[in-house]
Structure 1
């Protein structure tokens, strides 16, 4: 499959990042509503507790990357994105039934976890499908984050105003569920399919002949000049099993990407920067709307402040791929 045929996958990744990050960026809208509904039942006015709750969506979303990467490696991107979409939609939907804030402490992090699975996997699929145009594809996909932050806060604010926050969460759950549709489109190119097109495998009934009685399979491979070459692949199951058991811990660290912390200095040096950026970014998105309303700005204009962040990010993300 050529890269030109992978653009629908890029569109699916764009929408996935827009919905997942757009919802996380809209938590400032729910912060105001939840404070009105549950603030009286909490210590003080509940600002710190509800602030922690709403910011947990971003925290869980961004920290789910290693888990999402490991799952995508073992099960594929498509099922992981669809799982993430279903978990995030269920988390948002069940939040609408919360009579006390205690239920939200389960459903809101669940939503963040689902969004994190889908978001990280949407990045993975870009690296698999685009090589020659990777910078351009990455830039286009990441603009989905800014588009989501730019549009969803205003949409959610309108839904909250006309349908109350409980009914709004049900509608938003249906919107976020479209991540599952995007996941169904994310079928990465299979190297096995390319191999099968040029390779004819012939596995004899007695595959233990020669090679010191080790099991082997014979393959007739088509060469580039039109000829054929027959080869044999020796399979040493016992050796592979021993090596697998010996390196299980290392494999787990590699699957989660944690080994990069001590094997890649550039990666390790960027971690503090992203940590500090995430802390400031999340705090601003959660509290800016309430602060704006306190100084007399209307609810729509307060939500628009979040959208302005998305607009500025759209300009930066659209150009970072080329840079």
Structure 2
């Protein structure tokens, strides 16, 4: 497959076709994240039809989220794609591309456009096959693994493409793009409930399978772009690439050495690509992501069942998900726009902590809200700040690791969502089955998100204290010594001779002390 034509830009265009990329990403988040959230509306239907408890039924939603986030790192698009012909001709320079080992299969061989289309086909197939399920294990495989894998192929390339097209207005672009999950939830939640009532859960899944095929259209919008900094890093053709085809068999004599060199280059490339994993700031940020992801996932599984358990009707419970979605849009867009302002541009990190902490506080009050009029303000508050911190995750990640490693770091951050997304809904379901109420499950989620915010706050505070302490020590030390690039103190011959002359002149003066 021929590589698509790429336009060379000195810097991200911050507009133009970039807005079409944002629109495509917006549709991708509707078809992936919004559909995933609406799976919770099927929760009671699955539980009743298959006569299973909360914990076992919750595994369906957990597997979808886990597979999606687990595969995000593997299928994250390379920032320097190569065509298959270029790879075949250049055996060594292939290791210099910035890509994860599995990600190269999709993003380099097939391009982001084809990858998203393939993901749409897989996700649609999973939903259609789920409509014929005869057990929960069947749903684990089709609705969980197959659909989640398709969503993973679509979600991460779309998010990364927005970062390639925008720089100055990146927060606003991410806010608009990720708001698709909110508006999609707002529209799909009552529609899915209506479909279940009209066609049963099997017919609703079949219709959703057809709807998800729109991901193929989204993939067609993802026009590749090559920035100047990427163009400079493109591997140059060497003597190996210029070797005629008839002379290629002669290279087999040195294939063991070439293989060893290729493996060494691959290790160096991966080490250079993921060097941020050893940065202390990123380690703390990644740890906080684990606790945040554990807390945020169960609500989208248990909000509808909890509302039904306190006497809310099915339509009202679905409407709560719609409110959560539409307010999520407001949080996406307004926080993206506000944090781009000059007054808050340097406080994005603090805004992220504030949003995560308030979502945790909302969890703590949820067990006391046992009527529809009380659950509406909760959905508004939680939805707003959920949209706020989701928008800021790529921005904060770029602040921690820099824009050069943003694609790889963003893949790792989404990858870290996998394990909490997998275990948190079943754990919450187990607590509901054990205690007979949702209180313990919601409190655990709330404290997990609050701890995530506190952890990052303390890390930020310690870093500022350490920086101020180093600056004060530098001021007390007086003029700084000149350093060589390797970190050693520069040696001044002239200064040393002057110092020796001064010692000779003053050595005979009585009472003189250095």
TM-score grouping bracket, smaller chain normalisation: 0.7 to 0.9
- Residues 12-91 of structure 1 aligned to structure 2 (within 5 Å): 12-39=24-51, 45-69=52-76, 70=100, 71=103, 73-75=107-109, 76-91=111-126
Structure 2, gaps ≥5 residues long:
1-6, 8-12, 77-99, 232-236, 243-253, 340-514
Determine if contact 2:117/2:217 at 8 Å carries over to the other structure. yes
Determine if contact 2:32/2:151 at 8 Å carries over to the other structure. yes
Specify whether residues 253 and 54 from structure 1 end up closer, same or farther in structure 2 by C-alpha distance, changes over 3 A only: farther
Considering Cα pairs closer than 8 Å and 6+ residues apart, tell me whether 1 or 2 has the greater RCO. 1
2:256 matched to 1:265?
no
Q: Which has the higher strand share?
A: 1
Specify whether residues 273 and 304 from structure 1 end up closer, same or farther in structure 2 by C-alpha distance, changes over 3 A only: farther
Determine if contact 2:124/2:210 at 8 Å carries over to the other structure. yes
Show CA shifts across 1:276-305 (max 9, x none).
222222211111111211221111111122
Q: Matches of 1:215 and 1:93 in 2, distance apart?
A: 48
Q: Which residue of 1 aligns with 2:249?
A: none
Question: TM-score, normalising length from structure 2?
Answer: 0.50
Q: Which residue of 1 aligns with 2:140?
A: 105
- Residues 165-244 of structure 1 aligned to structure 2 (within 5 Å): 165-190=201-226, 243-244=261-262
Computing the radius of gyration from Cα coordinates, the structure with the larger value is 2
Q: Which residue of 1 aligns with 2:411?
A: none
Q: Matches of 2:133 and 2:168 in 1, distance apart?
A: 48
Shift of 1:19: 1.5
Q: Matches of 1:185 and 1:276 in 2, distance apart?
A: 35
Q: How many residues align structurally? A: 279
Q: Matches of 1:127 and 1:189 in 2, distance apart?
A: 11
Shift of 1:190: 4.2
**Alignment RMSD:** 2.8
Shift of 1:87: 1.1
Determine if contact 1:14/1:143 at 8 Å carries over to the other structure. yes
2:40 matched to 1:4?
no
2:299 matched to 1:284?
yes
Shift of 1:93: 0.7
Q: Which residue of 1 aligns with 2:409?
A: none
2:324 matched to 1:309?
yes
Q: Which residue of 2 aligns with 1:233?
A: none
Shift of 1:241: 6.3
Shift of 1:249: 3.8
Determine if contact 2:63/2:140 at 8 Å carries over to the other structure. no
Q: Which residue of 2 aligns with 1:140?
A: 176
Determine if contact 1:77/1:124 at 8 Å carries over to the other structure. no
Q: Which residue of 2 aligns with 1:202?
A: none
Q: Which residue of 2 aligns with 1:222?
A: none
Specify whether residues 265 and 148 from structure 1 end up closer, same or farther in structure 2 by C-alpha distance, changes over 3 A only: farther
Counterpart of 1:298 (choices 300, 308, 313) is: 313
